[in-house]
């Protein structure tokens, strides 16, 4: 929920959808939820297991890895790197399957490249690479292909111009590839277990509505 609140703050269009209970909200929410889960899969692993249980596999890992389940590196992200120098007994537990690991690495790569080339991030204006990915996911509702450039300013920030150099071209390609792949995962998220997905969405929407009401109440009191 905190990450979803951040996503709402990062994308005014998403905040408006929540406020209006717009039907488009339920089209964009799967993408937003996936981005929030991919940002920190270690914390979201139980929710992911419930929504996509077939995307997990049983592995033997050490209890040290359980305390440090997700070691993220800017150069070579590794989802389950065991802590070195710690002795512990092995145990069997569910871990991200290869498809989810590949998707997570694509997310990290897009976020890392975007952080290096986006003016909104480089100038320290408050927006992060994750914020720009959220904005891009929301702007995808217009039905344009993820590789196309949109007129919206926030989307241009999340899709660097090729004229800016090879690194920017790589960032644009990584963001486009991620958004394209998210579409398939969004459909799977909704269709694999519709009952679980609907329950998840209902809880999230209620939490967001309660959060918005609390903020408005605080503002009125202040």
3-state DSSP of 189-212: HHHCCHHHHHHHHHHHHHHHHHHH
Between residues 70 and 99, which one has the greater pLDDT? 99
Q: Read off the pLDDT of residues 95-147 as tens digits, 9 standing for 90 and up.
A: 889 999 999 999 999 999 988 887 655 555 557 889 889 989 998 744 343 33
- C-alpha distance from residue 165 to each of 6, 27, 42, 123, 176 (Å): 31, 34, 34, 18, 17
Contact 78, 69 (CB under 8 A): no
Question: What pLDDT is recorded for position 157?
Answer: 52
- C-alpha distance from residue 58 to each of 55, 79, 98 (Å): 11, 15, 12
pLDDT above 70 as % of the chain:
67
- Output the DSSP codes for 62-124: EHHHHHS--B--SSS-BTTPPPTT----EEEEEEE-HHHHHHHHHHHHHHHHHHHH-HHHHTT
Of the candidates 60, 6, 12, the one whose C-alpha atom is nearest the C-alpha of residue 33 is 6
Question: What pLDDT is recorded for position 88?
Answer: 60
Distance of CA 69 to the CA centre of its chain: 18
- Output the DSSP codes for 140-152: GGG---TTSPPSS
Q: How far apart are CA 79 and CA 82, in angstroms?
A: 10
Q: Read off the pLDDT of residues 151-163 as tens digits, 9 standing for 90 and up.
A: 333 444 555 554 4
SS3 132: helix
Task: For residue 129, report the phi and psi dihedrals to the nearest 5 degrees.
Answer: -60, -40
Band of pLDDT at residue 213, cut at 50, 70 and 90? low
Question: What pLDDT is recorded for position 121?
Answer: 57
Contact 192, 52 (CB under 8 A): yes
Handedness of CA 157, 162, 165, 170 (dihedral sign): positive
Q: How far apart are CA 222 and CA 219, in angstroms?
A: 5
């Amino acid at each position: 929920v905190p990450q979803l609140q951040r996503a709402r703050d990062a994308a005014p269009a998403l905040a408006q959808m929540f406020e209006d209970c717009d039907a488009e909200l339920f089209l964009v929410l799967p993408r937003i939820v996936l981005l929030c889960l991919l940002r920190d899969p270690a914390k979201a692993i139980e929710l992911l297991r419930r929504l996509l249980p077939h995307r997990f596999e049983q592995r033997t890992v050490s209890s040290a890895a359980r305390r440090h389940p997700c070691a993220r590196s800017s150069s070579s992200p590794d989802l389950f790197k065991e802590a070195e120098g710690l002795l512990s007994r092995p145990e069997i537990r569910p871990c991200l399957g290869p498809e989810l690991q590949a998707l997570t690495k694509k997310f990290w790569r897009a976020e890392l490249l975007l952080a290096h080339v986006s003016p909104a991030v480089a100038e320290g204006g408050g927006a992060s690479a994750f914020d720009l990915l959220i904005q891009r996911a929301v702007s995808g509702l217009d039905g344009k292909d993820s590789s196309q450039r949109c007129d919206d300013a926030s989307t241009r920030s999340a899709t660097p111009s090729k004229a800016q150099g090879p690194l920017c071209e790589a960032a644009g390609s990584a963001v486009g590839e991620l958004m394209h792949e998210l579409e398939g995962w969004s459909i799977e998220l909704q269709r694999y277990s519709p009952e679980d997905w609907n329950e998840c969405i209902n809880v999230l929407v209620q939490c967001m509505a309660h959060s918005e009401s609390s903020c408005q109440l605080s503002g009125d009191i202040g």
